[in-house]
Amino acid sequence: MRTEGTTKVREALRDYLKALKTEFTLGMILPTKAPVGQELPPERKPSGNTVQDSVSPQSLDTVGVKIPTVRIVMREMFNSPADELYSIFTTKELVQKFSKCPAVIEAEKGGKLQMFEGCVSGEYTELVPSQRIVLKWRCRSWPDEHYATVALTFQDVAAQTELQLECKGVPVSAEESTRQCWKKQYFEEIHLLLQQSQDSME
């Protein structure tokens, strides 16, 4: 009984673990996969936090690899007409001026984008001159192949332009660093660039 019972219990446990793994991974794109045929030894229990890390809380936006994500919305006023501000985001020379790094800027639908020595990359998906830019956008530290959708909307307000940034699909763990990236590396540097060009014109 002891030998046969142990074997039966182990087989039942193995089947149960297989069913658990199958049910858990249904419909998921996992970042890494165990080699086919590799099973957990029956004594090991799957850790509870694996489920927490991979399931989206509530109805947060999920794009690409299934990870918990958030939406970031930011607004910034610039002392510049909309067409000038639009060109700062779409002209290689101007992007290189404010980012202070070589950049790849192919401002057309499907065109590539690479900035900050490869820390930021993406692809243009929509361009409406002086009005709107939509990008697939990612930071190098994010999970492989995970992109956020960034929409930049330019609105003329008197002699200024209001820029609205909507960034959907940002990994929860990268929310604050993404905000800081846009605030410090984009907005603050563009303000400086605009100030310099105004100073040189006076």
Please give the torsion angle defined by the CA atoms of residues 101, 105, 71 and 60, in that order, rounded to the nearest 10 degrees. -120
Q: How far apart are the C-alpha atoms of 4 and 46, rounded to whole Å? A: 25
In order along its 202 residues, the chain shows pLDDT tens digits of: 566 767 777 777 677 666 655 555 555 554 554 444 444 444 444 443 333 333 334 444 444 447 899 999 999 999 999 999 999 999 999 999 999 999 999 999 999 999 999 999 999 999 999 999 999 999 999 998 899 999 999 999 988 999 999 999 999 999 999 999 999 999 999 999 999 887 877 6
Cα-Cα-Cα-Cα dihedral sign, residues 189, 194, 197, 198? negative
Task: Report domain extents, the chain.
Answer: 69-200
pTM of this structure: 0.66
CATH 3.30.530.20 assigned to domain 69-200? The reply is yes
Please classify residue 93 by burial: count the beta carbons closer than 10 Å to its beta carbon, then call 0-12 exposed, 13-18 middle and 19+ buried. exposed
